[in-house]
Amino acid sequence: MNKYEQQKIIEVVLYILNKTGGIDFYHVFKIIYFAELKHLAKWGHRIITDNLCALDYGPVPTMLYDAVKGTNAKGTSLADLFKENVKFAGNDAPNVLLAEAPANMNYISESEIEALDESIAENASLTFGQLKEKSHDQAWYEAFHRVNGTNVISPITMLKVMHADESIIEYVKEQLELEEEFV
């Protein structure tokens, strides 16, 4: 993950935190997941490049999760960027994140803002249990129960969860194949 992609993740988090006035990291992760679903289905690409992995309590952007825990994922300085821009609310709310700066909107497109705003409106006020149930969709289930493989959630399955147009699904498949060629 390059420096731009790392900074973009931080700017997306700052956008969510500023929009909500601060929220726990579980909600941040799920707001990102549901925004990713919407944006992928409508535009054929994700908002952030972080892998979404199926964990017990639902999909999680893995490098961001490491950063929240204070660990730089291999080859990144994401935790350092996170610490510079986000703080924990304190002992009374140890999982609540607060923005230390406004989001740099040069990193977030209008279509991404639209998806993030919709996701914030739909998910910010849900309880932990409601978010867990909502995020345990077919894409999560497939990745979580994959035998002898990765728990990374497939963008194709995400598209199917959203009942995306077949042309978008084909476009994303082609993009994934191209990425594989360059790796």
Between the two ends of the chain, the Cα-to-Cα distance in Å is: 12
Please give the residue range of the domain that contains residue 129.
3-182
CA distance 129 to 4: 34
Average pLDDT value for the chain:
95
Say if CB 171 and CB 44 are below 8 A apart.
yes
Tally of domains in the chain: 1
pLDDT bracket for residue 131 (50, 70, 90)? very high
Place of tokens 């803002």: 113
pLDDT of residue 33: 98
pLDDT of residue 147: 77
Residues 112-126 pLDDT 10s: 999 999 999 999 999
Query: Whole-structure pTM over 0.85, yes or no?
Result: yes
Query: DSSP alpha helices (H): ranges in the chain?
Result: 3-20, 25-43, 62-68, 78-85, 110-123, 128-135, 138-144, 155-161, 166-182
Taking the CB of residue 16, how many other CB atoms lie within 10 A of it? 25
Residues 17-45 pLDDT 10s: 999 999 999 999 999 999 999 999 999 99
Place of tokens 């978008």: 168
pLDDT of residue 72: 87
Which whole number is the average pLDDT over 78-102? 94
